[in-house]
Structure 1
Amino acid sequence: MILTLKSGFSSAHLYHQPLWSSEENLKNFGRCFTEHGHGHNYTLEVGFHLTEGELQVKLEEYKALLKSLTAVLDHEHLNFVIPEFKTKIPTTENIALYFQEKLKEHVPANKIAHIKLYETSDLWTEIQP
């Protein structure tokens, strides 16, 4: 059985490759390369492999876990506040990988069925560990 839970958060970010000139960053990243960045209302979705007996035991625990992980990023500028994104571009893919690493600190890897991070309703990254 796969239990799927969602947790939302709002964050700002900007795309900037420090090895490139401003012109090259603008050419590659367009409007995502700005001094202050822009924001999204993200949705993190995680599927957990569970046995029938685990469902009631793990449901509230996993809900609280997702809420605590997304709360760290909620209403923050990822490039400026979150240490992992001070040197790594906070693309949807990299943010999803960030959540994968954070989840593995609390949940055995074999319990994670999938991770989806929605940047918008029609743009997301999916990881199937």
Structure 2
Amino acid sequence: MPEQSNDYRVVVFGAGGVGKSSLVLRFVKGTFRDTYIPTILAIKSNVEAIPIMLVGNKSDETHREVETKDGEDQANRWKCAFMETSAKTNHNVTELFQELLNLDKKRNMSLNIDGKHSGKQSRAERLKGKCSVM
């Protein structure tokens, strides 16, 4: 039976100030910061066959930069899942990361069924492709 890893790497990217770090902080530490702290994110690998979810954050705001329908339409064009969240109110934060985990598990099951993974993998091989892009 292949060894399972509980390590997951998530890549979060988007325009500045949309709440990427706030979502991660809310999920990991259960906290929210009102102040803006810029973070630098880089993507260096191919994203094909990696679970992708488009996230509309700051759903608690009355003035919306992107309407729900526009987010849903874009997700349909990209053939990915869509979810609205609010790091500030903790709306759908846990559900977001749970859904990413579920998408990754489905992808790994598909890879195992197709016979692309052997039971003897190095840690690097097990972690390769464990990026979920939002």
**With structure 1 as the length reference, what TM-score do the two structures score?**
0.29
Q: Which has the higher helix share?
A: 1
The structure with higher relative contact order (CA 8 Å, sep 6+) is: 2
**With structure 2 as the length reference, what TM-score do the two structures score?**
0.28
Q: Which has the higher strand share?
A: 1
